[in-house]
Structure 1
Amino acid sequence: MKRHIQPLETLILDQLPDEAVPAYEAALQAVSATVALFRDEATDTWRIEAVREATADQDALSAALALAAGLTGHDATLARNPTEAEGWLARTVEAFPEQPIATRFLVRPSHAEQRRVWGRHVLTLDAGLAFGSGEHSSTRGCLTALEALRLPPNARVLDLGAGSGILAMGAAKLAHVRVLASDLDPWSVRVAEENAVANGLRGRIRAVLALGWNHREIHARAPYDLVFANILARPLCAMAKDLAQHLAPGGRAILAGLLDSQVQMVLAAHRRQGLVLERRISLSPWATLVLRRRG
């Protein structure tokens, strides 16, 4: 059946400072099918562009931008331009090819040929409304950090702010463990569950709706041997104490969603809770941190 192509629009946020980029990028990721970042070297600021259906939920967009403004203290001005829809969907599919990540993973869109790949764990999913298609440097940094870890048998793993569930799936396939995934967005919880089933991981990934650590099952499964938190710098800092309390001795946390310029702020918050830096991965301008609880 041929899909009826809806009118599209491009959302533009311009002249954003470094510290505002992660929150506004996450805001547009939540309501758009595709998001791109551009740096203006002359002004040392960023422009974010996103394409979505012009008839999409306007209240969700307003709420996402308001949340980003509250988190950053920067009130960005949104510009909206109509976008030619003809051929855009096809170009989007072409622009999301198979993506080898590090040495052990391959992210594959569902439209690609489902061929066997030796030596890599294939994660099948599509770019969409739930963050985490493997294209973003923060996701790539987390998977790169994951493959270097040796998890104990029956390791307890939590993917906090799971989005599409890509990191939960990576851990489940690499280490043959069960993973609890959480997100504050109901759509992301649904997408993560659907992606788990599509990747043959039914029963090994459970997705729950939760704001941060505020969920009974998250507390019940603690302490964790590994926690992913690919969110934003300020929420990472605010939740540092909760993270330290829920990590097992010797447990690790993979933190992402922060810029290189925000590393010291995030590190300071977690060092105050007794966590130590084990590894830093920089995929400029984004950074991924691997922290460990002593023990």
Structure 2
Amino acid sequence: MKHDAAAAPETPSQSWKVTLPCTRAEAEALDGDIAAFALLDRPPVLMTSEVEEDNPEAWKLEAYFEGRPGPAALKLLKALVPSAARTRPQVEQLPDEDWVTMSQQGLEPVIAGRFHVRNLPDDPAPQGLKSYLIAAGRAFGTGQHETTSGCLAMLDRMHSVGMRFRNIADIGTGTGLLAFAAMHLWPRAYATASDIDPVSVDVTEKNAEVNGVPVGGGVGQIALFTSAGVDHPAIAMRSPYDLLIANILAGPLIELAPALCACLEEGGTIVLAGLLDEQADAVMAAYRAQGMRLAERIDNGHWPCLRLRKRPRIGWRRPLRLNPQARGEAPGFGSW
């Protein structure tokens, strides 16, 4: 992701934590909801916990930032916990450890559709569900955020109604979870996963090994690429796709609309997430302009997941391969 305009310039490795007291009611209201930070380029990870076992109303909010948070970010954070309006936030730089790993360790497993996602090996895997171990680490997409769980639910629903795909791409793959889920549902498909962040691609490869997902270029295998959007020759060569998944942010989703749709075959499906309720109309308008129509929407808190279908076009003008002029770059953006 690109740098947060509200943060002071820092090296990318610096991690900061902001702590504020809050009430139990405020903590419960924050469960999984970081909508206030969605427009920041580097939103924090929020964690709440009890302060004293014998005082059930005493809680605290901890926000983990990549880079030192500026005044605007602190103001947004305080707005989430009105009881701390007169309290000065405790701001501290963390040691040289991975801020995403620290903030996500011990997260509760998530169930979305037929999928169970855990981040600790000791968490039991329920019978009847497809379980993935996605350890807390250097990439987003452990399943806890509404955008990821909404995509899992959408994929499961698509399979349940009989939809079938043979060539799948997950753009902005993060941890690889959504690509893995799609491969489980359609095991005879070709699968492509890419991310602008090479760390995410490395994490995806490791997660594939842990979860028994074969890596490679053949049927039932996942091919991994580091790419800004779809700006990679191999991604173009593997097109057209009949299913594209993009769980990123509203800005890059709009910017990538022409290139993503150029990679999609006629009648193909795109699943979009990472956008807020108030951003959905703008995102859908960008894709309608490329010949897409909204087929289904799942609302998961403030975070909708959209399924769109490409309208067939008649005649020799229909595209079969990626338009070389549609580079599909969204510089500075990573995945959730």
TM range (shorter): 0.7 to 0.9
The structure with the greater share of residues assigned to helix is 1
Whether the aligned pair in 2 keeps the contact of 1:127 and 1:133 (CA below 8 Å) is: yes
Q: Is 1:28–1:61's contact at 8 Å kept on the other side of the alignment?
A: no
Aligned-partner Cα distance in 2 for 1:144–1:273 = 25
Task: State TM-score, norm by structure 2.
Answer: 0.65
CA displacement at 1:243 relative to structure 2: 1.6
1:101 to 112, 125, 128: 112
Give per-residue Cα distances to partners, 1:180-211, cap 9 Å, x unaligned: 11111111110011001111012222221100
Match of residue 273, structure 1, among 290, 306, 313: 290
> What is the TM-score with the length of structure 1 in the denominator?
0.73
CA shift, 1:80, in A, is 6.8
Cα distance, 1:282 vs structure 2: 0.8
Kept in 2: contact 1:19–1:262 (CA 8 A): no
Corresponding position of 1:36: 46
Deviation at 1:11, TM superposition (A): 4.5
Q: Provide the rounded CA distance (Å) in 1 between the counterparts of 2:186 and 2:285.
A: 30
Q: Which amino acid aligns with 1:152?
A: R
Letter of the 2:247 counterpart: N
What SS class does the counterpart of residue 142 from structure 2 fall into?
coil
Instruction: Report the 3-state secondary structure (helix = DSSP H, G, I; strand = E; otherwise coil) of the residue aligned with 1:281.
Output: strand
Match of 1:111 among 113, 121, 125: 121
Unmatched segments (≥5 aa) in structure 2: 1-13, 20-33, 49-60, 75-88, 96-100, 216-220, 313-336
**Aligned residue type for 2:179:** A
Structure 2 counterparts to residues 72-87 of structure 1, below 5 A? 76-77=72-73, 81-82=91-92
Which residue is equivalent to 1:197?
A: 209
Of 10, 16, 19 in structure 1, the residue corresponding to residue 17 of structure 2 is: 10
Deviations 1:44-94 (A, max 9, x none): xxxx96337xxxxxxx737xx89xxxxxxxx94568723899xxx999544
Residue range with higher mean Cα deviation, 161-170 or 173-182: 173-182
The answer (yes or no) to whether the contact 1:9–1:80 under 8 Å persists in 2 is: no
**Structure 2 Cα separation of the partners of residues 132 and 125 of structure 1:** 8
Local SS of the residue matching 1:162:
coil
Q: Which amino acid aligns with 1:265?
A: A
Q: Distance in 2 between matches of 1:175 and 1:195?
A: 19
> Does structure 1 conserve the Cα–Cα contact (< 8 Å) formed by 2:291 and 2:311?
yes
Give the 3-state SS of the residue equivalent to 1:239 in structure 2: helix
Counting only pairs closer than 5 Å after superposition, residues 236-247 of structure 1 correspond to structure 2 as: 236-247=253-264
Q: Is the 8 A contact 2:243 2:268 kept in 1?
A: yes
Q: Note if 1:27 corresponds to 2:36.
A: no
CA distance in 2, matches of 1:172, 1:112: 24
